[in-house]
Amino acid sequence: MHSVTKSAAAAAIAASAALVVAACGSSSSSTSSSGSSSSGGSVPQVSVSSLNNSFSAMATLKPLASKGKGNVAVILPDTVSSTRYVEFDAPYLKESFQKAGLSSSQFTVQNALGSDSTQFSDAQTAITKGASVLIVDPLDSGVGAHIESYAKSHGVDVIDYDRLTLGGTRKYYVSFNNVLVGTKMGQGLVSCVAAWHVKSPQVIVMKGAPTDNNATLFAQGYNAVLAPKFSSGGWKDVSNPAGTWDPPTALSEFQQQYTAHPNINAALIPNDENGAPIIHYLQGKGIKPKTFPTTGQDATLTGLQNILTGYQCGTVYKPIYLEAQAAAALAMYARAGDAPPAGLVNGTTQDTTSHTAVSSVLLTPTWVTPANMNSTVIADKFVPASQLCTGKYAAACTAAGISG
């Protein structure tokens, strides 16, 4: 996993082969396709289009529970880069397995708490205790490849979850279309600059951790959107810090650049967590609402409130319940020794280190603004309206058609 270069044009060239999508995020794939399974029609069928927030599709997979062997172990990366792993991924994965017919003794969901050695040790322990399938969101490609090599030597299948392990040997990859995530951030910033009437945008372009392949893909997306703006001369690419997923470090990066370049008046920020302290800092500097566009990702409570009050243009919402169900479904098929249907495995992703195309489930993200907040994150109960619309945010909620 590596960061993109500081030149938007070079980034587009360097990352041009990063993602190859077939029917990317599409729900149009046939739900009757059974892939290459030798069991034919006896294999339960689940497609991307059948996944929803009721988790009803998981019950379809119950026949696989009795057929499969061994346990499924999920190893999540940390609790810092995003609160999603504790608040959403872990409970959604547990619910998915339970509704697919696995007992609590047949799966585990763990968190490596930001430690490569812990993540590898967790994988070793899970395999020793009988795991036949691992679902791993690697902290970085180094530990991910180490885990996958160890698992392969023990006959255990691995599913890359959310992040692709470059140079790995996983069986499947499940994520959102991460280049599209970045594209939506870039497009959101462009739209916001126009809507907020920002003249001569002077932009700081921030990134996630250089070791995170997703951060590279996000940057590929938003750099491609911003590059024409910079080359036209209407926008100026002022600064490109090294990148991080640690919010205090992101704030430090921003403060250093804003002090050096006080003309900065817009920021491409790759997630809400990094954006929150930066926006708080700008508010302390007296920046008024709808004057300094920023972007985000993950639809956090703070991010949504910053959107409602005019300090953030929008956020990329990724319905994690879809990702969790897709990963659990793949694990159920792998555990039972059956090929998943083509309606589920709807694309491929290029591993640019091993130069292999990885069979993938690729889901579609959504750009959320006040205009569609109620019909997306609120409707999905991703963030309760009762939490979002408290105190000073009540009026903004009302204006956006959200009632708490």
Do residues 270 and 224 both lie within one domain?
yes
**Can you give the residue range of the structural domain that contains 381?**
178-317+367-399
Percent of the chain predicted with pLDDT > 70: 90
Q: Does position 3 have pLDDT exceeding 60, yes or no?
A: no
* Other Cβ atoms closer than 10 A to 118: 18
Do residues 184 and 308 both lie within one domain?
yes
What is the reported pLDDT for 42? 83
Give helix 90-99 / helix 320-336 axis angle, nearest 10°: 50
Region of poorest pLDDT, from 2-6, 111-115, 212-216, 357-361: 2-6
Answer yes or no: are the C-beta atoms of 404 and 388 closer than 8 Å.
yes
Q: What is the mean pLDDT of residues 279-299?
A: 97
Do residues 195 and 152 both lie within one domain?
no
Angstrom distance (rounded) from CA 179 to CA 28: 20
Residue 273 lies in a domain: yes
Angstrom distance (rounded) from CA 298 to CA 111: 19
Answer yes or no: are the C-beta atoms of 112 and 139 closer than 8 Å.
yes
Do residues 240 and 373 both lie within one domain?
yes
Q: Does position 10 have pLDDT exceeding 60, yes or no?
A: no
Angstrom distance (rounded) from CA 18 to CA 158: 21
26-58 residue pLDDT tens: 333 333 333 333 344 589 999 999 999 999 999
Answer yes or no: are the C-beta atoms of 309 and 396 closer than 8 Å.
yes
Domain count, the chain: 2
Angstrom distance (rounded) from CA 70 to CA 356: 28
β-sheet bridge partners, residue 107: 72
Answer yes or no: are the C-beta atoms of 316 and 366 closer than 8 Å.
yes
pTM reported for the whole predicted model? 0.81
The DSSP call for residue 239 is: E
Do residues 207 and 151 both lie within one domain?
no
Angstrom distance (rounded) from CA 343 to CA 46: 7
Do residues 391 and 264 both lie within one domain?
yes
Percent of the chain predicted with pLDDT > 90: 86
Angstrom distance (rounded) from CA 201 to CA 228: 13
Residue 10 lies in a domain: no
Do residues 239 and 188 both lie within one domain?
yes
146-193 residue pLDDT tens: 999 999 999 999 999 999 999 999 999 999 999 999 999 999 999 999
Do residues 277 and 333 both lie within one domain?
no
What is the reported pLDDT for 41? 52
| Nearest C-alpha neighbor of 359 from the set 21, 133, 18 | 21
Q: Is 23 exposed, middle or buried (0-12, 13-18, 19+ CB in 10 A)?
A: middle
43-96 residue pLDDT tens: 999 999 999 999 999 999 999 999 999 999 999 999 987 778 998 999 999 999
Do residues 269 and 187 both lie within one domain?
yes
What is the reported pLDDT for 117? 97
Residue 2 lies in a domain: no
Do residues 248 and 388 both lie within one domain?
yes
Residue 7 lies in a domain: no
pLDDT confidence bin for 275, thresholds 50/70/90: very high
Residue 404 lies in a domain: no
Angstrom distance (rounded) from CA 380 to CA 51: 13
User: Could you tell me the CATH number of the domain that includes residue 160?
Assistant: 3.40.50.2300
Residue 16 lies in a domain: no
Do residues 333 and 390 both lie within one domain?
no
The DSSP call for residue 294 is: B
197-248 residue pLDDT tens: 999 999 999 999 998 889 999 999 999 999 999 999 999 999 999 999 999 9
Q: Residues near 366 by Cβ (< 8 Å), separated by ≥ 6?
A: 184, 316, 317, 318, 319, 372, 376
Residue 1 lies in a domain: no
What is the reported pLDDT for 82? 75
Q: Residues near 249 by Cβ (< 8 Å), separated by ≥ 6?
A: none
Residue 46 lies in a domain: yes
182-208 residue pLDDT tens: 999 999 999 999 999 999 999 999 999
Do residues 300 and 219 both lie within one domain?
yes
